[in-house]
Structure 1
Amino acid sequence: MASIDAVLLALDNNRPAALDRLFELLAIPSISTDAAYAPQCERAADWLAKELTGLGFDAAVHPTAGRPMVLGHAKAAHRDAPHVLFYGHYDVQPVDPLELWNTDPFKPELQEGRRIVARGASDDKGQLMTFVEACRAFRETGGLPCEITVLFEGEEESGSPSLPAFVAANRDALKADLALVCDTGMWDAETPSITTMLRGLVGEEVVVKAADRDLHSGMFGGAAANPIHVLARILADLHDGEGRVALAGFYDGVEELPADVAEQWRALPFDEAEFLHGVGLSVPAGERGRSVLEKVWSRPTAEVNGITGGYGGPGFKTVLPAQASAKVSFRLVGRQDPAKVRAAFQSFVRERLPADCTAEFLPHGASPALQLPFSSEALTRARRALHAEWGKEPVMAGSGGSIPIVGTFKQDLKMDAMMIGFALDDDRVHSPNEKYELTSFHKGARSWARVLDALAK
């Protein structure tokens, strides 16, 4: 196997051809959510399978009930190499509103010599092709350093309806030592990032009922229980005076950040005031004594997402409603148990119901938090590899939301995932004039080459 310097040189020499290949893929309008584009999704899957086959992968297109999957596998140049699963998606969002695009979204352009503009340039075709190009450079210089399985999905932008069944049916073919996911971004244009934490989620709807019908507030007001009042008091009690969630056992399994990660977050050039100002706010809410980054990356939350009850139409109606409802979501971290959190919330509500009131609960899904252990050897090696390429220590980032495929890998394949991507905040993902920086594309490929080399060693 050639040295990493030879692999990086091959990547640099192949830059024009790599860009041409990316443009070919970007020109395919693989919009998964619109059935009219199903043939184009098949075309994109065929294109990728052919590329992988040309690189020595045993690759094939696998039909599903929806859009096809591309699955490929290649052995390493040496025995006893680690086995990684790389995931990306080739489908893209619709382009509407088309009139807001400055160019044809499926005629990719390199603008100002540094910006690739097309639908899917950043999400996720440009990202997945950084990995493909890294594999190409290894093949040209002696062989892959790791055993590699590649999974390219065609329905990520439409909710991945076919993915769970596909993973279940191909569990043996997908199982690896570690998953690599490219659908994330950098801290800024010069600082790489590894997303190590994804918050989990519990969604719950509660309906509080009192009288058997809506009541005239003049005749019953002050004497009859008002479900809106009852529900409002219960929801207000969800947080204590310090902004902490008041459910019994809610913080079981929540751990503090390692000292070095906490220090890195404190040192990041993140303006909390500007972050809030951008959405018309000025004062941080939530837990006292916690930074905004902690609150959105590594701390659990309870949020009321919607309340209904009584009359909400035009004009005015003096009524005591028979029922009121609220939708509440809990973002989870660490080892919090979604089932225990749901049970604790239901008990919390029932304990506070006055006489004549009842509560019904409607679940809206649940998933645990996911975290790549900070002590992971793979994480340590990837950090060194990214630092070597960018000259900066990568940010160990968290994500306030979830990436479903990572949960699928963990729950169904018992496999951790390391999320490394090279998108930027201004890439206009899902919007008109989506772009991907040429630097992200070229240095992204070099970064993956370094990461694979580091994992193999």
Structure 2
Amino acid sequence: MTAVNQVLSRIDTNIDQSVDRLFELLRIKSISTDPAFKNDCRMAAQWMADQLTAIGIPSQVRDTTGHPMVVGHRTSDDKPGPHVLFYGHYDVQPVDPLELWETDPFEPRLVEREDGSKMIVARGADDDKGQLMTFVEAARAWIEETGDLPISVTVMLEGEEESGSPSLQPFLEENKEELAADLALVCDTNMWDRETPAITIMLRGLVGEEITLRGPDKDLHSGMYGGAARNPLHVLADMVAGLRDDDGRITLPNFYEGVIEMPDHVKAMWDNLNFSETAYLGGVGLTQPGGEKGRTVLEQIWTRPTCEVNGLWGGYNGEGFKTVIPSEAHAKISFRLVGDQDPQKVRDAFRAYLAEKTPEDFELILHPHGGDPALRMDFDAPALAKGQAALTEEWGKEAALVGSGGSIPIVGKFKTILNMDSMLIGFGLEDDQIHSPNEKYELSSYHRGIRSWARVLDALSKD
């Protein structure tokens, strides 16, 4: 029997104890955004450091200006494969509204359904305690069964992910040498569906801008000044309308510089995911996609850039009617970026567009938000192929290489500060109700997630 098969057998034999350990962690009320739970957050950090040290990954609780980090290492220059940095977070969201929980959110329970499937219900069951423990338990099984991990591993666990990660960037910058590795492994993502594992290989970047357009020096009576005074809302509406053409493409000069097309094999994989555009849009009461014509919905949300109006307001918005020409108009505009688009070039082009459209006697006031590039793994990266093969072997279905329409800040920090790509593998499901009452994590996600990480560690050690 191969070493990895021995490890998998140990995982299966000890799954009940693995669940018990997860339950211990879930009972700790590590709500990072509420100062009342500061001691609980430290307790969770210490619990994690003790667990990692006990299994053979010597770890420390490291103070920050906020909640502590946990850092541990089990490395050797003699080991094959990449040195990986595993990231997870031990903090959780608040539980409000408490009355919607069926039971105590910090008293985890294993619920069996009529079909025999089981789920773990508690705050943090999925996000992110259950997810991070899949890796920890896989490492435990490897060390207990073989005496070592197949590759060099550094573990970093954060305690502020659910409260904006204020201490993260300074910590990474101060500990760049210690945290240096070849590849980051991040577990805070989902499977494609209940039977299909996934690796998230693309995250969109973000550029945001808040606009104030100031015209007359006071609100004006629309009868006395209507037609003579230019209305800031008219001007701003024209600006916004001109950002996209009739085919859904963004009109800024050179906006698509750096946008890349997906390889044919990736497009073919997506075509086989049985994704229903009708169901996806129908779930929010829509029937027609609104992005670039000629692109599938998956392309639109994973691989194409966007320009969205997140807010547009001005004038009188109270009860009844007030016939004014407002002195100011406001908007919040965001761009999701893909490929190699340069956030600063996009911002500069947008600001130049607004300045050109601003009337001579108007004032344009801009406040920037965000400015992060898109991130992606190289489609030909050896680690990606090995990770995909390992997941496919465990689940019996080809692991999907998927994108994400959103952004995960930690992945950007790993790239910009540590110069490290990230491979995102998680076992959550869309219906796990993270951040909501009655959060759950499938027992199959936990059990097979542990087995999956055991296989991934093995695969990364192979030539």
Equivalent in 302, 305, 329 of residue 300 of structure 1: 305
Counterpart of 2:376 in structure 1 is 371
* Aligned residue type for 2:206: L
In the TM superposition, what is the alpha-carbon distance from 1:80 to its structure 2 partner? 4.3
In the alignment, is the contact (CA less than 8 A) between 1:2 and 1:141 conserved in 2? Answer: no
In the TM superposition, what is the alpha-carbon distance from 1:65 to its structure 2 partner? 1.4
How many Å separate the matches in 1 of 2:250 and 2:296?
Answer: 17
Counterpart of 1:237 in structure 2 is 242
Counterpart of 1:442 in structure 2 is 447
Percentage identity across paired residues of the two chains: 60
Counterpart of 2:251 in structure 1 is 246
Counterpart of 2:5 in structure 1 is 5
TM-align CA RMSD: 1.3
CA deviation profile, 1:245-299 (whole Å, cap 9, x unmatched): 0000100000011101111112211111111111111111110011111111111
In the alignment, is the contact (CA less than 8 A) between 2:205 and 2:336 conserved in 1? Answer: yes
130-139 or 80-89, which deviates more: 80-89
Equivalent in 239, 259, 268 of residue 264 of structure 2: 259
In the alignment, is the contact (CA less than 8 A) between 2:95 and 2:436 conserved in 1? Answer: yes
Counterpart of 2:137 in structure 1 is 133
In the alignment, is the contact (CA less than 8 A) between 2:80 and 2:461 conserved in 1? Answer: no
How many Å separate the matches in 2 of 1:188 and 1:214?
Answer: 53
How many Å separate the matches in 2 of 1:331 and 1:208?
Answer: 23
95-104 or 147-156, which deviates more: 95-104
How many Å separate the matches in 2 of 1:355 and 1:236?
Answer: 20
CA deviation profile, 1:298-335 (whole Å, cap 9, x unmatched): 11000011112111122211111122111100000000
In the alignment, is the contact (CA less than 8 A) between 1:214 and 1:320 conserved in 2? Answer: yes
Aligned length: 457
In the TM superposition, what is the alpha-carbon distance from 1:432 to its structure 2 partner? 0.9
Q: Does the residue aligned with 1:365 lie in a helix, a strand or coil?
A: strand
355-364 or 154-163, which deviates more: 355-364
How many Å separate the matches in 2 of 1:418 and 1:254?
Answer: 21
Equivalent in 411, 416, 439 of residue 416 of structure 2: 411
**How does 1:146-295 map onto structure 2 within 5 Å?**
146-295=151-300
Counterpart of 2:365 in structure 1 is 360
* Aligned residue type for 1:209: R
CA deviation profile, 1:167-200 (whole Å, cap 9, x unmatched): 1111111110000000001001100000000000
Question: Is 1:391 equivalent to 2:396 in the alignment?
Answer: yes
How many Å separate the matches in 2 of 1:48 and 1:351?
Answer: 55
* Aligned residue type for 2:120: I
How many Å separate the matches in 2 of 1:216 and 1:283?
Answer: 40
How many Å separate the matches in 2 of 1:449 and 1:158?
Answer: 31
For normalisation by structure 2, the TM-score amounts to 0.97
In the alignment, is the contact (CA less than 8 A) between 2:31 and 2:92 conserved in 1? Answer: yes
Counterpart of 2:332 in structure 1 is 327
After the TM superposition, list the runs of 4 or more consecutive aligned residues in structure 1 that deviate by more than 3 angstroms.
76-81
In the alignment, is the contact (CA less than 8 A) between 1:77 and 1:144 conserved in 2? Answer: no
* Aligned residue type for 2:144: E
**5+ residue gaps, structure 2:** none
In the TM superposition, what is the alpha-carbon distance from 1:355 to its structure 2 partner? 3.7
**5+ residue gaps, structure 1:** none
In the TM superposition, what is the alpha-carbon distance from 1:79 to its structure 2 partner? 3.2
How many Å separate the matches in 1 of 2:264 and 2:346?
Answer: 27
In the TM superposition, what is the alpha-carbon distance from 1:371 to its structure 2 partner? 0.6
Counterpart of 2:90 in structure 1 is 90
Q: Does the residue aligned with 2:224 lie in a helix, a strand or coil?
A: helix
**How does 1:112-123 map onto structure 2 within 5 Å?**
112=112, 114-123=118-127
In the alignment, is the contact (CA less than 8 A) between 1:76 and 1:145 conserved in 2? Answer: no
* Aligned residue type for 1:200: G
How many Å separate the matches in 1 of 2:262 and 2:185?
Answer: 23
How many Å separate the matches in 2 of 1:74 and 1:277?
Answer: 48
